Amino acid sequence: MKNLCQFSKDQLMMVIYQYSFAVDDMLLYLDSHPDDVNALEYFREHSHIRNEALKEYARRFGPLTIDTANDAASQSWQWIQTKWPWEGGAC
């Protein structure tokens, strides 16, 4: 994967969507297959990339989750300055 700081806002959001889906899907699988070592490694790898993408998004555009709201790089209220989803700010 390229360096996340080179991604546009939309590209970074797409990475977050894709890796969040993969992580959630793998969590469901691991509920019924907890001893699958390959699945656990896949989960850890994709979870790490998702977290890095969330941190990069928070650093540049504001936090998306409570996990990144406490990040030192995103302790601002800039999200309140941006458009709300119904104003066309989500896409």
Does residue 15 contact residue 51 with C-beta atoms inside 8 Å? no
Q: 């996990």: which residue's tokens? A: 67
pLDDT in tens, 5-57: 899 999 999 999 999 999 999 999 999 999 999 999 999 999 999 999 999 99
pLDDT at 79: 61
**pTM, two decimal places:** 0.73
What gap in Å lies between CA 79 and CA 72, rounded to an integer?
15
What gap in Å lies between CA 71 and CA 53, rounded to an integer?
13
Domain boundaries, the chain: 8-75
For 8, phi then psi, to 5°, come to -75, 170
How far from 88 is each of 11, 16, 22, 32, 84, CA to CA, in Å? Answer: 17, 19, 27, 40, 7
